[in-house]
Amino acid sequence: MLRQTLRPGHAAHWCRQMSVVAKSLKYTQHGEPQDVLKLVEDQLADPKDKQVLVRILAAPINPADINTIQGKYPVKPKFPAVAGNEFVGEVICVGENVKGLQAGEHVIPLATGLGTWTTYGLYNQDQLMTVPKKVGLAEAATVTVNPCTAYRMLKDFVKLSPGDTVIQNGANSAVGQAVHQLCRAWGINSIGIVRDRPEICELKQLLECLGATAVLTEAEVRTSDIFKTGKVKRPKLAFNCVGGKSATEVSRHLDDCGVMVTYGGMSREPVTVATGPLIFKDIAFRGFWMTRWSKENYDAPERKQMFKELFELMEQGKFVAPTHEMVPLEKFKHAAAEALNFKGFTGKKFILNMRE
């Protein structure tokens, strides 16, 4: 709910005497989202100084968001906390000292832990970045975590050139879908490994349409000759979000001095290193956490360039949001419960639709 009165003589992007009631998903203790999240209403103050009042349009539910609510994530919020870390929103009005932002622009959060599962939010200007309006809501709402994770892992560990190869398990995840699309845009071969399932043919076709060079099941990769025959180069880089036997098998296919980057552990099993490849190929194992990278590179030119490239690909239709479902805020309990339990065709992402 919003009422607005503009101060006479001032530009329309600055306002006062606002009356905004935000509906937010808050929690005061850790636990399962269905149990601890409450939909509450709060009246927000006018934006002052360098503050920006944002109407949230869409906010995704990520596994890390659920883990944070459960208390299983390294980031610990101060209670009471508003859940969520990503959003795309529309600027409603700004404080008197805000420069470079005005009403009507679309923005995303640069900082984490702001609390995004809400209909309205009051943020500092330096916590926000503008987004071209040509970028779709689903793409903008989900850009700061999964696409950025894929981008950084492709850029920061091995110097890749067109024609080189990357291999990844969990290739149907949101990060996996982003990797395929970036590899296609940059001329890199992308080999995806997925679990077998009844819809495997349809899944392979979907991922190949996104840019995968080939998609193999965990059983097929153990016997495939795709690298031995020279159809594609042996991978210089591997991405692991599963762990356990899956990670071990993927690492066996790395080329000499190849690198495996672990960014998740869906199987909850440790990464086991195969002794032969470790010794005779001198392969390396690294870890990556997007949240830490973002904090350490908050204002870095590399971060600005990353967003610029991602937005350009989105505007050109060369990068699309992961498979997703938009759900109304009122159905948050169902969406939160399904976010970690979805076992269907591909890793569906749930996005809260805040538009009233």
Looking at the annotation, which residues are catalytic?
73
Phi, psi of 220 (to 5 degrees): -65, -35
The answer for residues whose C-beta is within 8 angstroms of residue 6's C-beta and 6 or more apart is: 12, 14, 15, 16
Instruction: Please give the Cα distance from 127 to 141 (Å, whole number).
Output: 15
Angle (deg, nearest 10), helices 63-70 and 332-339: 100
State how far the Cα of 325 lies from the Cα of 175, in Å rounded to an integer: 17
Rounded Cα distance, 217 and 239, in Å: 15
Angle formed by the axes of helices 301-315 and 146-156, nearest 10°: 120
CA distance 286 to 280: 18
CA-angle at 237, arms to 234 and 243, nearest 5°: 110
DSSP state letters, 258-275: -EEEE---TT-EEEPPPH
Rounded Cα–Cα distance for residues 355 and 74 (Å): 31
SS3 196: coil
Tell me if residue 244 falls in helix, strand or coil. Answer: helix
